[in-house]
């Protein structure tokens, strides 16, 4: 759906001691290469998670002045954008994973990996508690151990959000891990095989052949499209007697699917699904899932409807993991739903802990509070207004200090902001009313509250943090900065700046929709080729690239494999 390329970002980096205040100083990273490396004492950096954020951090970490330890229940990185393709065998699970030890061994410094899950973080003692995960083997029970850290990088992702809907955990499939995709693939074939048995009643056959997808976001939509392709391209030929029983229903509680996409894409996707015979039901909220029925509440009529199903996929967004909730309580974030960091990805309320990816969010409310303080300071006479020049200075300062705000001011074309400037320029007093501008910023606030939970954000955050760590030692050694910045105060790292490179929505039948920067929309067969090209380039290694491309070729020559293994 989304992708990233930020090779250029690393060229321009702002540097300093993370803890220092003061001015921002921009520098070319190469300016530091002549400085001597470290003082011999290595900081112990523990990374929790081998997903997009953790692996991006690891891949971009170049400084050998850290002792890096990775803890994750998965000893591989999974390329999640291709997970829906694993559910029907378009690509194989192993083609989209890269063993973490393959990535670690390429590092010029030692990286240790422990296959375990962290079940408790103790920020006071700088310690984490881990247990080995039972991977279904016979090697014994769950081993427990603790690890100390100097720096902890929390990149544990999130879990599927069930909204506490009864029966979801027990009866629905999720699509977050490779195992989930493989289980779904088996489940589809199970349904087809069972529906083919002669002893099955007509009614039961209809139920078994009804596939329901809950959630009209990108994952739900892509999965429905993949299932439709599998059923029509391959299974219809193998199970001709039951092919007409197939029904695919997409349930969405909101009033349209793909609500984070442009309305043209939503319309195109809905119309395509209708043509394909996928039943898109909007305004339908699932309230219960039992082993054979889904109960929905129709938002318009208030009616409760019971839908018989054979297989259900639950894809309604993400929620915070229990271990993170526990950590949040310890550091005074118990009243929040997501772990909050500042814009340098440092967890608020504790020392030496960074959080990135789906498990955290940058606390924009704090940003707004800071901005309010900046305004109050600038308004020395307490008049509630600023003259045009001071106002522009404040806006420049905010833009530099808070790049996310600047992005929204430019991209979303805040009308209030533009109108304010124009009216001030046109009026004699050239005074800007601070309150009106703050209200405009609240508009920004509501739009930028959370960065999207995407691989694109997670990977950029991992790269950003690694770049900061690569320069940390020099910055701590030379807090006054490189020669040409000396005398202007302590310098600091630039806050994390997210660059959006667009997002895809594959719609099946070799058609994809893409929303590219600048609100460019591209839909259809040619966009599918763009999708192939982008995702091939984003795969984490040449090995996985070759495997995925050969899977695509295999599928186009022989079709998808329907064995239930
Ligand atoms: P993850 O990638 O989920 O990684 C979390 C890591 O933490 C895992 O290694 C996990 O094993 C580990 N972990 C979990 N619990 C513990 C614990 N207790 N202790 C230690 N480690 C732990 N985004 C896009 O930008 N484009 C797309 O096309 C796209 N498609 C997607 C398709 C699907 C089907 C899904 C599910 C997601 C998709 N996403 C996409 C979203 C993207 O995958 C996530 O935003 C991204 O994975 C977040 O990265 P992360 O590193 O925060 O978490």
Per residue in 94-120, pLDDT tens?
999 999 999 999 998 889 999 999 999
Residue 293 pLDDT > 80, yes or no? yes
Query: Which atom of ligand 1 is the closest one to the Cα of 53?
Result: 51
Query: Which atom of ligand 1 is the closest one to the Cα of 158?
Result: 3
Ligand 1 neighbourhood includes 116 CB (under 6 angstroms): no
Domains of the chain as residue ranges with CATH: 39-158+320-362+453-484 (3.50.50.100), 168-318+502-558 (3.50.50.100), 370-448 (1.10.238)
Residue 3 pLDDT > 50, yes or no? no
Grouping H, G, I as helix, E, B as strand and the rest as coil, residue 44 is strand
Ligand 1 centre and the CA of 545: distance in Å? 20
pLDDT band per the 50, 70, 90 thresholds, residue 341: very high
Ligand 1 neighbourhood includes 502 CB (under 6 angstroms): no
Ligand 1 centre and the CA of 320: distance in Å? 12
Distance CA 459, CA 210 (A): 37
Q: Are 505 and 261 in contact (CB under 8 A)?
A: yes
Ligand 1 neighbourhood includes 93 CB (under 6 angstroms): no
Residue with tokens 């029970």: 141
Higher-confidence residue of 13 and 259: namely: 259
Q: Are 168 and 289 in contact (CB under 8 A)?
A: yes
Site to substitute for ligand 1 among 215, 455, 505, 530, most atoms within 8 A of C-beta: 455
Q: For residue 179, what is the DSSP state?
A: H
Ligand 1 centre and the CA of 436: distance in Å? 40
- Return the closest-CA partner of residue 53 out of 369, 364, 345: 345
Strand ranges across the sheet with 503-508: 503-508, 511-516, 520-524
Task: Give the lowest-confidence range in 38-47, 306-315, 327-336.
Answer: 38-47
Site to substitute for ligand 1 among 458, 504, 538, most atoms within 8 A of C-beta: 458
Residues 6+ positions from 373 with CB-CB distance below 8 Å = none
Ligand 1 neighbourhood includes 448 CB (under 6 angstroms): no
pLDDT band per the 50, 70, 90 thresholds, residue 473: confident
Ligand 1 neighbourhood includes 500 CB (under 6 angstroms): no
Higher-confidence residue of 19 and 79: namely: 79
Site to substitute for ligand 1 among 48, 49, 513, most atoms within 8 A of C-beta: 49
Number of H helices, E strands in the chain: 18, 27
Task: Give the lowest-confidence range in 59-63, 163-167, 194-198, 390-394.
Answer: 390-394
Residue 486 pLDDT > 70, yes or no? no
Grouping H, G, I as helix, E, B as strand and the rest as coil, residue 64 is coil
Ligand 1 neighbourhood includes 506 CB (under 6 angstroms): no
Distance CA 1, CA 247 (A): 26
Q: Please report the pLDDT score of residue 176 as a whole number.
A: 96
Grouping H, G, I as helix, E, B as strand and the rest as coil, residue 242 is coil
Q: Please report the pLDDT score of residue 6 as a whole number.
A: 36
Ligand 1 centre and the CA of 237: distance in Å? 35
Ligand 1 centre and the CA of 454: distance in Å? 8
Residue nearest atom 41 in ligand 1 by C-alpha distance: 454
Q: Please report the pLDDT score of residue 14 as a whole number.
A: 26
Distance CA 502, CA 176 (A): 22
Ligand 1 centre and the CA of 358: distance in Å? 7
Q: Round the average pLDDT of the chain to a whole number and report it.
A: 83
Ligand 1 neighbourhood includes 56 CB (under 6 angstroms): no
Higher-confidence residue of 262 and 382: namely: 262
Ligand 1 neighbourhood includes 2 CB (under 6 angstroms): yes
Ligand 1 neighbourhood includes 84 CB (under 6 angstroms): yes
Q: Are 370 and 398 in contact (CB under 8 A)?
A: no
Is the model's pTM score more than 0.95?
no
pLDDT digits (tens, 9 = 90+) for 175-227: 999 999 999 999 999 999 999 999 999 999 999 999 999 999 999 999 999 99
Higher-confidence residue of 556 and 139: namely: 556
pLDDT digits (tens, 9 = 90+) for 352-368: 999 999 999 987 666 66
Residue 475 pLDDT > 90, yes or no? no
Ligand 1 neighbourhood includes 74 CB (under 6 angstroms): yes
How is residue 249 written in tokens? 């229903």
Ligand 1 neighbourhood includes 454 CB (under 6 angstroms): yes
Q: Are 14 and 492 in contact (CB under 8 A)?
A: yes
Ligand 1 centre and the CA of 127: distance in Å? 24
Residue 411 pLDDT > 50, yes or no? no
> What is the DSSP annotation of 512-542?
EEEEETTTEEEEEHHHHHHHHHHHHHHSSSH
Site to substitute for ligand 1 among 326, 341, 454, 463, most atoms within 8 A of C-beta: 454
- Return the closest-CA partner of residue 233 out of 509, 519, 512: 509
Burial of 53 (0-12, 13-18, 19+ CB in 10 A): buried
Q: Are 314 and 173 in contact (CB under 8 A)?
A: yes
- Return the closest-CA partner of residue 128 out of 107, 114, 110: 114
Residue nearest atom 53 in ligand 1 by C-alpha distance: 157
pLDDT digits (tens, 9 = 90+) for 55-79: 999 999 998 889 999 999 999 999 9
Distance CA 201, CA 207 (A): 10
Distance CA 423, CA 260 (A): 33
Residue 125 pLDDT > 50, yes or no? yes
Query: Which atom of ligand 1 is the closest one to the Cα of 453?
Result: 45
Ligand 1 neighbourhood includes 278 CB (under 6 angstroms): no
Distance CA 524, CA 512 (A): 5
Mean predicted confidence (pLDDT) in 143-162: 96
Site to substitute for ligand 1 among 2, 60, 70, 72, most atoms within 8 A of C-beta: 72
Percent of residues, the chain, with pLDDT higher than 90: 62
Ligand 1 neighbourhood includes 252 CB (under 6 angstroms): no
Q: Please report the pLDDT score of residue 481 as a whole number.
A: 58
Query: Which atom of ligand 1 is the closest one to the Cα of 157?
Result: 53
């Amino acid at each position: 759906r989304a992708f990233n390329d930020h090779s250029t970002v690393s060229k321009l980096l702002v540097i300093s001691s993370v803890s220092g205040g003061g001015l921002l100083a921009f520098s070319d990273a190469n300016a530091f290469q002549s400085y001597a490396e470290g003082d011999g004492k290595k900081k112990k950096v523990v990374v929790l998670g081998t997903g997009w954020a953790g692996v991006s951090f690891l891949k971009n970490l170049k400084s050998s002045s850290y002792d890096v330890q990775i803890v994750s229940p998965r000893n591989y990185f999974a390329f999640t954008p291709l997970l829906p393709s694993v559910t029907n065998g378009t690509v194989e699970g192993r083609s989209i994973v890269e063993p973490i030890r393959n990535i670690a061994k390429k590092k010029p410094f030692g990286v240790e990996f422990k296959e375990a899950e962290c079940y408790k973080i103790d920020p006071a003692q700088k310690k984490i508690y881990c247990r080995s995960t039972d991977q279904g083997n016979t090697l014994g029970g769950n081993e427990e151990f603790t690890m100390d850290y100097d720096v902890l990088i929390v990149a544990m992702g999130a879990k599927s959000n069930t909204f506490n809907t009864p029966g979801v955990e027990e009866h629905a499939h999720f699509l977050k891990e490779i195992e989930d995709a493989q289980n779904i693939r088996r489940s589809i074939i199970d349904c087809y095989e069972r529906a083919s048995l002669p002893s099955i009643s007509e009614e039961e056959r209809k139920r078994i052949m009804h596939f329901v997808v809950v959630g009209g976001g990108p994952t739900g939509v892509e999965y429905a499209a993949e299932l439709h392709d599998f059923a029509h391209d391959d299974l219809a030929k193998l199970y001709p007697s039951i092919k007409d029983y197939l029904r695919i229903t997409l349930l969405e509680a909101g009033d349209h699917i793909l609500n984070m996409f442009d309305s043209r894409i939503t319309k195109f996707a809905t119309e395509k699904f209708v043509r394909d015979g996928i039943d898109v039901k909007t305004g339908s909220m699932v309230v219960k899932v039992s082993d054979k029925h889904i109960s929905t509440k129709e938002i318009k009529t208030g009616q409760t409807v019971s839908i018989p199903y054979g297989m259900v996929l639950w894809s309604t967004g993400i929620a915070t993991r229990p271990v993170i909730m526990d950590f949040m309580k310890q550091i005074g974030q118990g009243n929040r739903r997501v772990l909050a960091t500042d814009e340098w990805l440092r967890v608020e309320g504790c020392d030496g802990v960074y959080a990135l990816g789906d498990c955290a969010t940058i606390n924009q409310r704090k940003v707004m509070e800071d901005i309010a303080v900046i305004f109050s300071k600038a308004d020395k006479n307490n008049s509630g207004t600023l003259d045009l020049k001071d106002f522009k200075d404040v806006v420049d300062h905010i833009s530099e200090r808070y790049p996310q705000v600047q992005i929204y001011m430019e991209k979303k074309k805040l009308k209030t902001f533009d109108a304010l400037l124009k009216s001030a320029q046109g009026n004699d007093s050239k005074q800007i009313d601070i309150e009106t501008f703050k209200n405009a910023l609240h508009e920004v606030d509501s739009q930028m509250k959370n960065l999207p939970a995407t691989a694109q954000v997670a990977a950029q955050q991992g790269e950003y943090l690694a770049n900061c760590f690569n320069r940390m030692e020099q910055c701590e050694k030379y807090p006054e900065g490189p020669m040409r910045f000396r005398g202007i105060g302590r310098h600091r790292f630039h806050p994390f700046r997210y660059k959006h490179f667009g997002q895809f929505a594959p719609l099946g039948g070799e058609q994809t929709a893409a929303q590219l920067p600048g609100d460019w929309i591209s839909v259809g067969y040619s966009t599918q080729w763009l999708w192939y090209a982008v995702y091939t380039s984003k795969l984490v290694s040449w090995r996985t690239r070759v495997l995925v491309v050969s899977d695509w070729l295999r599928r186009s020559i022989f079709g998808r494999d329907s064995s239930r293994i």
